[in-house]
């Protein structure tokens, strides 16, 4: 009986803990920023993720506002497959913000120049180079993180030794690295808003490139950060920090299950896509992250929100079944004790 009561107490406590984790959370990062030693402050970040579940295609659009004294800057974005790059219209962010938070009642041409090389120095292969929006972009593939870091330095990207350890997991999984560099001189000491770029790529699971180099996670007195993410998919989505670990994020879902199919034509125009490239029965899930510093030790992977609830119910069902089995064993033990006592009385 004592064991039964103990297991029941553990079940209740576990249920409280797990149910408390059902509330979706999210945190976001901005991959690896490459710049000079001059100060760069990311004032605001926004992203749109379109998940075409039928074809396993992710369309990723990111926009950021910076304040900097640097003369130039750029960033690296990892993807599991070769991305295609295109301009996007910043109007998509305003449109989705209105959908996620409705008011209360009371393009440039893409200059593409593919430059695929059979082999580049140090085991780095250049899969594509392209001027897109305000950026010069190079899509890279490498078999050695140190060699890729050297290639970036040789091509006038400002890199740090810590980038090697940041790059290593992606190189090991044969991911592609897209290096973006702002193609114009920056006015120093002012807030800069750059045009958004769409990256489209094949992937088994939609993800956000959240992982940051170690030095970015350990900066003393980090400045406040804000990131808004809009996800368009066939169903409400949730996310985990890491693909296999499923750790939670220090963020929140601010809107979910909002139908957006009626905006298909307008969204396709803003994203430089065909309407049929957007998911059927499209819904919007919006996320907000204000954490600083962010736990950018892994990337963020998205899953249907129902998946977490299903796993929770499976765990609880297993625990209840276990409790029921222990209760039956306890009852059988009681019956044996009672029967033994009755036999003892009859034998006297």
Task: For 77-109, write each residue's pLDDT tens digit.
Answer: 999 999 999 999 999 999 999 999 887 554 444
Q: Which of 265, 230, 272 is nearest to 107 (CA)?
A: 272
- Burial label, 259 (beta-carbon count in 10 A; 0-12, 13-18, 19+): exposed
% of the chain exceeding 90 in pLDDT? 43
The whole-angstrom separation of Cα 232 and Cα 213 is 28
- Predicted confidence at residue 338, as pLDDT, reads 66
- Laid out side by side, the sheet with 300-304 consists of 207-208, 300-304, 237-241
What is the average pLDDT score of the chain? 78
Among the listed ranges 167-176, 231-240, 293-302, 316-325, which one has the minimum average pLDDT value? 316-325
At 19-43, the pLDDT tens digits run 333 323 332 345 566 655 556 667 7
Which DSSP state fits 174? T
% of the chain exceeding 70 in pLDDT? 66
Confidence of residue 62 (pLDDT cuts 50, 70, 90): very high
Question: Is the pLDDT confidence value at 126 over 50?
Answer: yes
- 3-state DSSP assignment of residue 35: strand
SS3 content of the chain, % helix, strand, coil (to 5): 30, 30, 35
Residues found in the chain: 348
Whether residue 320 contacts residue 11, with contact meaning beta carbons closer than 8 Å, is answered with yes
The whole-angstrom separation of Cα 104 and Cα 111 is 42
- Predicted confidence at residue 31, as pLDDT, reads 58
The whole-angstrom separation of Cα 141 and Cα 159 is 17
Contacts of 48 (CB under 8 A, 6+ apart): 59, 60, 61, 88, 92, 93, 96, 229, 230, 231, 232, 271
Beta strands in the chain (DSSP E): 32-35, 40-52, 57-68, 73-79, 84-87, 111-113, 124-132, 135-142, 176-182, 190-193, 197-202, 207-208, 227-233, 237-241, 252-259, 283-289, 300-304
- Predicted confidence at residue 327, as pLDDT, reads 60
- Predicted confidence at residue 64, as pLDDT, reads 82
The whole-angstrom separation of Cα 142 and Cα 324 is 55
Among the listed ranges 40-49, 54-63, 168-177, 234-243, which one has the minimum average pLDDT value? 40-49
The whole-angstrom separation of Cα 66 and Cα 186 is 10
- Predicted confidence at residue 269, as pLDDT, reads 98
pLDDT (mean) for 39-57:
87
* Tokens coding 241: 């920090």
- Predicted confidence at residue 131, as pLDDT, reads 95
CA quadruple 230, 77, 291, 237: dihedral positive or negative?
positive
Task: Give φ, ψ of 64 to 5 degrees.
Answer: -145, 150
- Predicted confidence at residue 100, as pLDDT, reads 93
pLDDT (mean) for 118-122:
51
- Predicted confidence at residue 54, as pLDDT, reads 94
Question: Is the pLDDT confidence value at 321 over 90?
Answer: no
At 221-258, the pLDDT tens digits run 677 788 899 999 999 998 888 888 778 877 789 999 99
The whole-angstrom separation of Cα 134 and Cα 101 is 29
82, containing H or E segment: none
Q: Which of 20-24, 174-178, 218-222, 326-330 has the highest mean pLDDT?
A: 174-178
Confidence of residue 165 (pLDDT cuts 50, 70, 90): very high
- Predicted confidence at residue 51, as pLDDT, reads 98
* Tokens coding 114: 């593919």
Confidence of residue 57 (pLDDT cuts 50, 70, 90): very high
């Amino acid at each position: 009986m004592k064991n039964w009561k103990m297991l029941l107490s553990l079940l209740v406590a576990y249920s409280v803990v797990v149910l408390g984790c059902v509330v979706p959370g999210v945190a976001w990062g901005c991959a690896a920023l490459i710049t000079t030693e001059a100060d760069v402050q990311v004032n605001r970040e926004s992203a749109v993720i379109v998940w075409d579940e039928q074809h396993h295609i992710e369309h990723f659009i990111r926009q950021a506002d910076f304040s900097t004294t640097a003369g130039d800057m750029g960033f690296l974005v990892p993807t599991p497959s070769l991305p295609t790059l295109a301009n996007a219209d910043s109007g998509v962010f305003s449109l989705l913000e209105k959908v996620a938070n409705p008011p209360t009642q009371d393009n440039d041409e893409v200059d593409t120049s593919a430059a695929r090389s059979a082999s580049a120095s140090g085991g780095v292969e250049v899969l594509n180079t392209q001027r897109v929006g305000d950026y010069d972009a190079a899509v890279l593939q490498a078999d050695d993180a140190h060699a890729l870091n050297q290639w970036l330095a040789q091509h006038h990207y400002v890199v740090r030794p810590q980038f090697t350890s940041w790059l290593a997991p992606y190189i090991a999984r044969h991911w592609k690295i897209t290096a973006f560099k702002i193609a114009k001189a920056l006015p120093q000491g002012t807030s800069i808003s750059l045009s958004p770029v769409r990256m489209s790529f094949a992937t088994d699971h939609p993800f956000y490139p959240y992982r940051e180099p170690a030095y970015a996670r350990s900066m003393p007195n980090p400045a406040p950060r804000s990131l808004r993410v809009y996800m368009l998919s066939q169903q409400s989505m949730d996310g985990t920090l890491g693909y296999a670990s499923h750790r939670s994020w220090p963020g929140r879902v601010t809107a979910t299950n909002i139908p957006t199919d009626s905006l298909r034509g307008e969204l396709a125009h803003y994203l430089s896509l065909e309407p049929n490239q957007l998911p059927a029965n499209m819904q919007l899930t919006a996320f907000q992250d204000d954490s600083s510093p962010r736990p950018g030790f892994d990337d963020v992977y998205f899953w249907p929100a129902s998946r977490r609830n299903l796993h929770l119910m499976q765990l609880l069902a297993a625990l209840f079944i276990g409790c029921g089995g222990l209760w039956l064993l306890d009852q059988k033990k009681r019956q044996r004790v009672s029967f033994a006592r009755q036999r003892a009385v009859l034998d006297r």
